[in-house]
Structure 1
Amino acid sequence: MTSPLVAEAVSVAALRSVMLRVQQAAERSGTRPDRVRVVAVSKTKPISMIRQLYDAGHRCFGENYVQEIIDKAPQLPQDIQWHFIGHLQSNKVKTLLGGVPNLAMVEGVDNQKVANHLDRMVSTLGRNPLRVLVQVNTSGEASKSGVDPSNCVDLAKHVKLSCPNLEFSGLMTIGMLDYTSTPQNFQTLSSCRTEVCKALEMDEEQCELSMGMSGDFELAIESGSTNVRVGSTIFGPREYAKKQ
């Protein structure tokens, strides 16, 4: 069994390897490496491991579950930029925003109801406008959250024009069931960005693409991703509690 200290040292080395691979993928695609954000997804991982990566200089971390992020965030430095990733239930909005003052972005607004809840709660708490990404279901899988690509313009328009306390920052996709994506998934999201930016009269450089995870982040960057979400490649396999 690997000791916690060894696991943390391995994670720091893995993070450095990922950052190098991100830089190389960006260079291959003609993108400046500093335009690609790496979100270290720390789902199921202990605070000590996150702290080790923080001490190594990383500041951007992501979580998928509200309870987990509100437990971890208060125990870690306030300059961490937390991303909430994936589907957010409207009844969890107050808990999330109240529990994580340094929440930097919600990646996964997939309907108008949750956008409206976020907008109202940001106003109620007196927070600065919250950056959000609209989640698009590029693979067409019923198990995945996200709007159909044909509806991405309408939801992006609602966030930008009807939610003054939210900052529409771009689009995200989860990818295929096995958490890898084909170039077609990435192309679908890129095409959505083109349509959204045309409708909102935005420069495409102002509209982020969050796509790519541990299994496909290099391909995602080469396809235009500006935000990759890397978990197991940095932290190792997820550690879910065993059922009794």
Structure 2
Amino acid sequence: MSHILENIKEVEAKVAAAAQRSGRKREDILLLAVSKTQPVEVIRQAVTYGLSSLGENKVQEIMDKYEPMGEGVHWHLIGHLQTNKVKYIIDKVDMIHSVESLKLAEEIEKRGAARGIVMDVLVEVNIANEESKYGVAPENTEAFIRQLARMEHLRVRGLMTVAPFVENSEDNREYFCQMRQLQVDINAKKIDNVLMDVLSMGMTGDYEVAIEEGATIVRVGTGIFGERDYSK
């Protein structure tokens, strides 16, 4: 069981070092433990060791784990979110990382209004223009954010991307750099109701480079829990 503790210590050390290299403090970066496919008893260990922010790709997994994990845990929905599933998590997650269509944003607005909740959201950007990925094209991001800014029950907090899967993390540096520039450019427009202070990018294979380029949230699963078993 202690392998998770060892993994967390290793990841923590790398996050801290990358933060230092980027001229920031360790506490400026949220290490989001991606708990998809992991059972509650395993996730609980990570929480015990200080990782109370958990990222899930699927609504169903949040539904299954929400009650057993109890209070003191902060859930983030990081995967593609279908409009018809917003109602199940609107009162369960702290942040939705994957807003990439007006239809989805309107549903979050509607469900948020019904529950009296203002949901923090990130706009998912398809920074490498990969056909297999969701996300708004970089050049359309500002216009999309302006549409979201008019909604009262969601608050745009920043940007998220799923960078290409690469063998060498340096290959993604240009994309992380472009994401940071996009964040800076949109911030400079001072759009009402938009506080772009979050940049969610970088996963197990490339989070150190992502932090060096300005990530404020890194999404690490395998690096913490080990390889996933999808057969379960």
Return the TM-score normalized by structure 2: 0.93
Aligned residue type for 1:48? E
Contact 1:108 1:135 in 2 (8 A): yes
Gaps of 5+ in 2: none
1:1-244 mapped onto 2 (5 Å cutoff)? 6=1, 9-97=2-90, 101-127=91-117, 129-160=118-149, 162-178=150-166, 182-201=172-191, 206-241=196-231
C-alpha distance in 1 between matches for 2:110 and 2:7 = 39
C-alpha distance in 2 between matches for 1:84 and 1:41 = 10
| Aligned partner of residue 137 in structure 1, secondary structure | coil
Return the TM-score normalized by structure 1: 0.88
Percent of pairs with identical residues: 36
C-alpha distance in 2 between matches for 1:205 and 1:96 = 23
C-alpha distance in 2 between matches for 1:135 and 1:16 = 29
Deviation at 1:10, TM superposition (A): 0.8
Aligned residue type for 1:189? M
Contact 1:80 1:102 in 2 (8 A): no
Contact 2:77 2:96 in 1 (8 A): yes
Q: What value does the CA root-mean-square deviation take over the aligned residues?
A: 1.8
C-alpha distance in 1 between matches for 2:122 and 2:195 = 14
C-alpha distance in 2 between matches for 1:205 and 1:131 = 10
| Aligned partner of residue 49 in structure 1, secondary structure | helix
Deviation at 1:87, TM superposition (A): 1.7
Contact 1:87 1:108 in 2 (8 A): yes
C-alpha distance in 2 between matches for 1:15 and 1:222 = 19
C-alpha distance in 2 between matches for 1:114 and 1:207 = 22
C-alpha distance in 1 between matches for 2:25 and 2:146 = 29
C-alpha distance in 2 between matches for 1:31 and 1:102 = 30
C-alpha distance in 2 between matches for 1:66 and 1:138 = 24
Match of 1:3 in 2: none
| Aligned partner of residue 212 in structure 1, secondary structure | strand
C-alpha distance in 2 between matches for 1:175 and 1:206 = 19
Contact 2:158 2:195 in 1 (8 A): no
C-alpha distance in 2 between matches for 1:46 and 1:111 = 31
| Aligned partner of residue 207 in structure 1, secondary structure | strand
C-alpha distance in 2 between matches for 1:56 and 1:190 = 30
Contact 1:157 1:200 in 2 (8 A): no
Runs of 4+ aligned structure 1 residues displaced above 2 Å come to 177-181, 198-202, 204-207
C-alpha distance in 2 between matches for 1:224 and 1:29 = 7
Q: Deviations over 1:192-211 (max 9, x none)?
A: 11221122358x98521111
| Aligned partner of residue 120 in structure 2, secondary structure | strand
Aligned residue type for 1:139? A
Aligned residue type for 1:226? T
Deviation at 1:13, TM superposition (A): 1.7
Q: Deviations over 1:53-81 (max 9, x none)?
A: 11222210000011111111111122211
Gaps of 5+ in 1: 1-5
